[in-house]
Structure 1
């Protein structure tokens, strides 16, 4: 068995990174792609490794010669690398391709050793390594039958994305049997090259062969082994996190992205807090059916979208402003304030981040971070504060103040002339229903009551970025509407608001499902040793970890592709805490099983 690596290309899409180096010299976590590949192949007792070089070939050749690689390395030079595609590179290596069984690889792939072992351990002589198609992938795809035969070979430009569930992506790593290469592939390669010219791809030849009635080549499906194709700097960024060996560093790299986890299709996200039971499939279908219309047209301006929000919450449109997520509204609102701000800690930190001076903290020091409305009043009653922020339920504790007590707080704040900002982003998940403050009756109690709500979280649509701020202070609402951009939400978000009312019953049912899932998750967590589980009325649960660190728990779960929140750095009391989101009952059971193994 030998290996052939195609490494002649220029890698133009990597721009400055390939200005003075060929593509396979690009480093992932400090290690060049070619070095990583050669060190894996060097363990496989191959007879030789053939590298087809071209662009910046001398630097690559010198680098490889200086590596500690015992397997003989042969270089084939493609001096026309700037005028040809990889069909020509492989044609230059055809004499080697016909000598013995061959692993054929492209040089811009990063992969773990287990992927190569999967090919070598399979007794079938000729295989194309494939993976289930995911949203980050592009290029050639396959459709397979139950016997791993290739039913259809689909170039990237002809992909039918509505059928993506049936697709497998070629990893661009192949195993060719000697007989297949000599008697089938090379003759086809030569004929195709003669007919089509130098600007074609060797995969096109594989496609022709795969369509033959009797084709020796089969697909070998990956079973979770990691790989990534590096075409641009975004790919390099993703690959750096996927192939980071330090789990602590990997956890840091992934969490610092703050989302975009569709690029990690196997990752189970227990970190970010959304409703897993909404929107319903029917609502998603309605959104999909209008996709092209919404994509190609401008959204309405603030006036229309405020009207939509007012309709959905049943209040005056002069009393509500809609935002590109609650975070946008928090930023603009907090920037309008001056004086002293009262906050409760630990809590959601965006308000503190947007108001950096004159802060009075009520630090909750009870073991489970419970506090009541009376506790808040007793602490702040003698303090000189101008504004008070309350998150209800609080984050990360899940502490909930009942509706009647929140009304008491509002009246206390009114008597003290304190602006009171209540963030009810998670209030819909509480066991108490009909508890929103966004009603005309409640807003009219006090002009300087401001209610913030993240629609993204409650309604399970974080990708649409929606939030609202409501108040009977028309002057403040008008100012915020002027401060934000006129088109601050997109057409998809607007359409969601437009159609939401007819799905209100389904939304209520989703909240009931969430409460059931939360109860089951809390009960399951309580059965684990060395964990204290705190009560919660949000869609997340805070836990204290004993005889371990929260960092280690978070990083070990990441080995199982589970992402949770390490909140010990946020709470900063010397103890160890994790926060886990409430997901579907099946997903919650998966989390519990991983935790059970750990403890």
Structure 2
């Protein structure tokens, strides 16, 4: 991993966002705005701030809206598009597989298109000395979704899907919420991630999520994935209208990113 960090990123932005309806009836979830700034423009601005020069967007649902909003360039960031024709019945691992050419181009950030976050989250990924890193935060009672458990030496040892506050127990291992922000090395992408994607998608398992892929690789293929603790970084995964309300409160007063683009 170079000291200056990846120059490329992949953002998975193909899904329907059905849980966010009616806000996603006429626009894709990545263009839903938090206090006037879309989830996608916030991510692009943060990636630019840490030196990313090229972003591949995997689009599907209402792809034309995303292409219009972002064009071919966001400030100094070149934008490429990969289209999923099966966005309504496939998981995020399928979208990641569609972007495999970008993944094979070198070190890479991988982001889900429904996370609104401060750019410090990416800086935590960069400042971690490990080769492959996932952003995490303490799992609290208000959260739901995928979580991880850490080993005594600080690596991610296990992914747990569909967790809620009810899974937090005093006698169980401490849980951390996955933020769906990753920094992956060129060597791991080439030797481990892309071959596993080829294997999974080739076997017809097209509805798997990226977290399930990582869980499989950590538990059975020896992937060493380090956590970047983002305990004091503002971020929120937006799946429902209620999530959006929480995010707007959390990011109240944030300076909105503009909409610079070259069509």
- TM-score category (smaller protein): 0.7 to 0.9
Classify the secondary structure of the residue corresponding to 2:203.
helix
Provide the residue aligned with 1:6 in structure 2.
12
Provide the residue aligned with 1:131 in structure 2.
137
Provide the residue aligned with 2:259 in structure 1.
none
Between the aligned partners of 1:43 and 1:127, the Cα distance in structure 2 is 19
Say which structure, 1 or 2, has more relative contact order (CA 8 Å, 6+ apart): 2
Q: Which runs of 5+ in 1 are unaligned?
A: 248-599
Between the aligned partners of 2:22 and 2:64, the Cα distance in structure 1 is 19
Between the aligned partners of 1:194 and 1:157, the Cα distance in structure 2 is 29
Between the aligned partners of 1:14 and 1:232, the Cα distance in structure 2 is 4
**CA deviation profile, 1:55-86 (whole Å, cap 9, x unmatched):** 00001101101874211111111111112111
Query: Scaled by the length of structure 1, what TM-score is found?
Result: 0.40
The structure 1 residue matched to 2:95, chosen from 80, 84, 89, is: 89
The structure 2 residue matched to 1:160, chosen from 154, 163, 167, is: 167
Classify the secondary structure of the residue corresponding to 1:148.
coil
Alignment of 1:59 with 2:65, yes or no, is yes
Provide the residue aligned with 2:218 in structure 1.
210
Between the aligned partners of 1:40 and 1:151, the Cα distance in structure 2 is 29
Equivalent residues of 1:142, 1:170 under 8 A apart: yes
Classify the secondary structure of the residue corresponding to 2:22.
helix
Residue 194 of structure 1 and its aligned partner are, at CA, apart by 2.7
Give runs of aligned pairs for residues 503-518 of structure 1, distance below 5 A.
Answer: none
Which stretch has the larger CA shift, 208-217 or 34-43? 208-217
Give runs of aligned pairs for residues 194-273 of structure 1, distance below 5 A.
Answer: 194-212=202-220, 214-245=222-253
Over alpha carbons, which structure has the higher Rg?
Answer: 1
Between the aligned partners of 1:106 and 1:201, the Cα distance in structure 2 is 11
CA 1:59 to 1:214, structure 2 compared with 1: closer, same or farther past 3 Å?
A: closer
Q: Which runs of 5+ in 2 are unaligned?
A: 1-5, 256-263
Equivalent residues of 1:54, 1:81 under 8 A apart: yes
Query: Scaled by the length of structure 2, what TM-score is found?
Result: 0.88
Between the aligned partners of 1:190 and 1:132, the Cα distance in structure 2 is 32
Equivalent residues of 2:168, 2:175 under 8 A apart: no
The structure 2 residue matched to 1:117, chosen from 98, 108, 123, is: 123
CA 1:196 to 1:154, structure 2 compared with 1: closer, same or farther past 3 Å?
A: farther
Between the aligned partners of 2:194 and 2:72, the Cα distance in structure 1 is 32
Residue 154 of structure 1 and its aligned partner are, at CA, apart by 0.9
**CA deviation profile, 1:110-153 (whole Å, cap 9, x unmatched):** 00011111111222220111111011211111110232212221
The number of residues matched between the two structures is 247
Equivalent residues of 1:148, 1:220 under 8 A apart: no
Equivalent residues of 1:189, 1:202 under 8 A apart: no
Residue 157 of structure 1 and its aligned partner are, at CA, apart by 5.6
Give runs of aligned pairs for residues 221-370 of structure 1, distance below 5 A.
Answer: 221-245=229-253
> Moved runs in structure 1, 4+ residues, more than 4 A?
none
**CA deviation profile, 1:302-334 (whole Å, cap 9, x unmatched):** xxxxxxxxxxxxxxxxxxxxxxxxxxxxxxxxx
